[in-house]
Amino acid sequence: MKGKRRYILGGGVVLLIALLLVAFVPISYYSFAPGDAIAVEGQIHLDAKSLAQQGQIFMTDINLMQLTLGLDVIDSFNKSIDVYPASAIFGSANPGQIVTQQVGQMIDAKSAAVIAAYSYAGRKLTLLPGVEVVATLPKTSPSILPGDLIVAVNGRSATTLQAVAKGIESAGQSLSLTILRSSAKVGAPTRKVVRVEKFTSQGRQIIGVTLAPSETVELGHPFSIETGQIGGPSAGLAFTLGILQQLGAIEVAKGAKVAVTGTIAASGTVGDVGGVKQKAIAVYDAGVRLFLVPPVEVAAAQSAGLKDLKVIGVQSLSQAIDQLRKNKVLLSGQS
């Protein structure tokens, strides 16, 4: 009888260990969970105007995590978390590529925010046109990174998509690209010449990059926008408003708090972002009760069920400033 009990007990332990191991097996699903609401005044180091007597503008992010079977079960009981298949988030790219791309997107967000803010405030800046590296492949030469702006191929000026594509196609196995790469300070890009090797893909010789027409900015007084490990473009509008605040072009009423999410184009157009339900929760938990989002994301923000969080859709920088005035967040500013 004792031997039988020992056998049953041993079998139970093995089963428990097996279940624990399975619970930690990664699956191809990811969770969106609320992140943080961060005051942009602590990120933007323009050193143009003291904000001690002003209110705050917040950006917000989400926590993206790959799930295990165990976490999937736990997260199913948490209404603040949404779960998506990897394909819905990354498409055909792998997560590592997306992380690299998001670094480039953050660089773009900072540059576009500076252009939009300085243009709105009538401040001087110099625009440098080129062709941006939007994404790379695993085989792409490590010397070229998402966010780099190509301005020449093999020493010949190339600042249009057609010119860059033609230069790459006509080059040999190895070629040089002159690029402008963002430095620690926005408005002070570093000019570099890098070597890139072609490789064969589907019968074609390529360097493995996705390209798009773009521009970067050069400033007489460059400054830093510190974002740490945060990637992606969704803080663009928040950065733009924060830069305007530090330039003195807008003034946030003392004690006022507003959170903002949305991409920004150099023209001031606001673009869509993801994870707005989770961002709304992060905003609310930080004590903010006014949230500006792209118009198509209003329903997502409201789906968090936070009744005293006022959500307003804006599709441009000027609309955002108008809404901040209407809600008595701004004391003054340009029209």
For residue 334, the one-letter residue type is Q
Flag whether pLDDT at 21 surpasses 70: no
Top-confidence residue, 37 or 28: 37
For residue 97, the one-letter residue type is Q
Q: What is the average pLDDT value for the chain, to the nearest integer? A: 88
Would you kindly state where each structural domain of the chain is located, as residue ranges? 34-85+112-121+224-333, 126-218
pLDDT for the residue numbered 135: 87
For residue 21, the one-letter residue type is L
Least confident of 45-49, 161-165, 240-244, 305-309: 45-49
Alpha-carbon torsion, ordered 46, 50, 53, 59, to 10 deg? 10
Which stretches does DSSP call E strand in 121-244?
126-136, 149-153, 156-157, 174-181, 190-197, 199-201, 204-206, 209-218, 224-225
Q: Which helix (H) or strand (E) element contains residue 187?
A: none
pLDDT for 38-48, tens place per residue? Answer: 999 999 998 76
Flag whether pLDDT at 16 surpasses 90: no
Flag whether pLDDT at 178 surpasses 90: yes
pTM for the model stands at 0.86
Residue 28's pLDDT band (boundaries 50, 70, 90)? Answer: confident
Percentage with pLDDT > 70 across the chain: 88
pLDDT for the residue numbered 335: 45
Residue 92's pLDDT band (boundaries 50, 70, 90)? Answer: confident
- What CATH number does the domain located at 34-85+112-121+224-333 have? 3.30.230
Percentage with pLDDT > 90 across the chain: 65
Q: Which residue has the tokens 């004792």?
A: 2
- Per-residue pLDDT averaged across 167-194, rounded? 93
pLDDT for the residue numbered 8: 53
pLDDT for 263-281, tens place per residue? Answer: 999 999 999 999 999 999 9
Phi, psi of 186 (to 5 degrees): -70, 135
pLDDT for the residue numbered 22: 56
* Equal CATH topology for 34-85+112-121+224-333 and 126-218: no
Flag whether pLDDT at 244 surpasses 50: yes
pLDDT for 205-239, tens place per residue? Answer: 999 999 999 999 999 889 999 988 788 899 999 99
Report the relative pairing of strands 149-153 and 190-197 from DSSP bridges.
Answer: unpaired
The C-alpha atoms of residue 146 and residue 106 are separated, in whole angstroms, by 10
The C-alpha atoms of residue 230 and residue 102 are separated, in whole angstroms, by 8
Q: Provide the 10 A C-beta neighbour count for residue 313.
A: 17
- Per-residue pLDDT averaged across 174-199, rounded? 93
Angle between helices 236-247 and 95-121 (to 10 degrees): 30
Q: Which helix (H) or strand (E) element contains residue 42?
A: none
- What CATH number does the domain located at 126-218 have? 2.30.42.10
What distance lies between CA 42 and its chain's CA centroid? 17
Nearest of 251, 273, 249 to residue 261 by alpha carbon: 273
